[in-house]
Amino acid sequence: MMDFLKGTVTPKDWIAVAIILGVAVALCAGFYFVVYAQQEAKMREIVSADAVVVSDLSLARTTEKNIDALRTEAAKMQELTSQFEQRLPESREIPTLLKQFEGFAGEIGLRVELSQLPRVSDQKKETIPYSVIARGNFHQIVGFINRLERFQRYLKISELNIGKEEDGVAQASFTLSTYRFIQPSENEKKS
pLDDT of residue 45: 92
pTM of the model: 0.50
156: three-class secondary structure by DSSP: strand
CB 126 within 8 A of CB 111: no
The amino acid occupying position 130 is Y
Lowest average pLDDT, out of 78-87, 128-137, 146-155, goes to 78-87
Residues 6+ apart with CB under 8 A from 72: none
pLDDT of residue 56: 92
DSSP secondary structure string for all residues of 38-104 = HHHHHHHHHHHHHHHHHHHHHHHHHHHHTHHHHHHHHHHHHHHHHHHHHTS--GGGHHHHHHHHHHH
Q: Rounded mean pLDDT of the chain?
A: 81
**Strand 120-121 versus strand 125-136 pairing type:** antiparallel
Q: Write the pLDDT tens digit of every residue in 100-118.
A: 788 888 888 888 888 888 8
Residue 41 scores a pLDDT above 80: yes
Average pLDDT of the segment spanning 138-165: 84
pLDDT of residue 184: 64
pLDDT of residue 23: 92
CATH number of 89-190: 3.30.70.60
Average pLDDT of the segment spanning 4-32: 82
Domain boundaries, the chain: 2-63, 89-190
